[in-house]
Amino acid sequence: MSEGGAQRGARRNSHYSIALGSAREALSALRTAAAWGYVAEPSADIVDRFDKVTATLYVNARR
């Protein structure tokens, strides 16, 4: 949320979109690391938190 919070106009939407991509990428990296055995599979709670963050970013990026 900090990515776009200080921006105005089209820049704000752009920054929220970038943050959305980064959040999705972070979860994907976590799942990949789990698949390779480097870390435990993310819990349902962690995935739920990522879902809430990405949903919030999605809404803000489309305003």
**Residue 22 backbone dihedrals phi, psi, to 5 degrees:** -65, -40
Domain range for 40 = 2-61
Evaluate if residue 3 carries a pLDDT over 70.
no
What one-character-per-residue DSSP string does 12-40 give? HHHHHHHHHHHHHHHHHHHHHHHHTTSSP
Q: Does the pLDDT value for residue 4 go beyond 60?
A: no
Query: Are 55 and 19 contacting, i.e. CB atoms less than 8 angstroms apart?
Result: no
Please report, rounded to a whole number, the percentage of residues in the chain having pLDDT higher than 70. Answer: 86
Average pLDDT, the chain: 88
* Position 5 confidence tier, pLDDT thresholds 50, 70, 90: low
Look up the pTM and report it: 0.82
* 56 vs 52: CA distance, rounded Å: 6
Q: How many domains does the chain have?
A: 1
